[in-house]
Amino acid sequence: MNVRAFVVVVALLAPLAAQADQPVVTGHYVLARATEDALILFDASPEVASIVAGKTDDAAANDELERESLKVLAAMLPKLDTTTKSVTVRVTYNKTGAVSPVYGAPTFAGVERYALLDVSYKDAAADRDKWKELDAKRAVPAWLSFKVIGQLPPR
């Protein structure tokens, strides 16, 4: 392999290596506001669909969505400025309506704002209580605020 080919391969694989240490999140997320009070929008539609399909009870569903929100926060934290004071992850999902007789697919019925994860940037950036390494067996730290403001679809 010549040097140029090696450099090209390394350049193409570098972003993948950087993403390898990021937690895998089901859904899409974007930094919507990068100010002192940062806002991250997290579309958890695939996760909510999985919850509905699995007929997961509300308590387990809340825990699952809270932990997914923490993964989103961990992935977006490096993109925030150090002057940030607080971070909010807004968890949403797409609601579906009746099945369209023309297309044979569920119709779009709006966006549900399901929950808010609020955290101090200082605590999050310092990895207080090793929150980035949470597994399903460890309790979520009490200083993280996860507030349900909406409803999940019926199961």
Domain boundaries, the chain: 23-148
CA angle, 112 as apex, 110 and 117 as ends, to 5°?
150
Predicted TM-score (pTM) of this structure: 0.79
Digit-coded pLDDT (tens) for 92-111: 999 998 888 998 888 999 99
Segment 61-74, tens digit of pLDDT: 999 999 999 999 99
How far are the Cα atoms of 64, 85, 93 from residue 130, in angstroms, in the given order?
18, 19, 28
